[in-house]
Amino acid sequence: MPSIGGWEWLIILVIVIIIFGVGKLPEIGGALGKSIREFRDASSTGTDKNENADDTSTKESKA
C-alpha cells in the first residue's frame, strides 16, 4: 500500500481550507485532538477494566 507523500498532503490541506475556511481550522484541529485523546483514555481504561475483571473472576473461582 503506497504511503501518502508531501504533495498529497498539500492537496488535501488545500481542499480542506477551501471547504471549511481558514477560520474553522483551529476549531476542527482541537475537536480532532480531543476525540483522539478521549479514544486513547477510553481504550486504556477499557483494557484496565478487562484485566481487573479477569483477576476478580479468577479470585472468585478459587474461593
Strand ranges in the chain using DSSP code E only, listed in sequence order:
none
Q: Would you state the torsion angle of the CA atoms of residues 23, 29, 31, 33, taken in this order, to the nearest 10 degrees?
A: -160
Q: Is residue 63 over pLDDT 60?
A: no
Helices (H) and strands (E) in the chain, counts: 2, 0
C-alpha cell recorded at residue 49: 477494566
Distance, CA of 63 to CA of 59 (rounded, Å): 6
If you search the block for the grid coordinates 486504556, which residue do you land on? Answer: 44
**Is the overall model pTM greater than 0.75, yes or no?**
no
Write down the pLDDT at residue 2.
81
Who has greater pLDDT, 48 or 18?
18
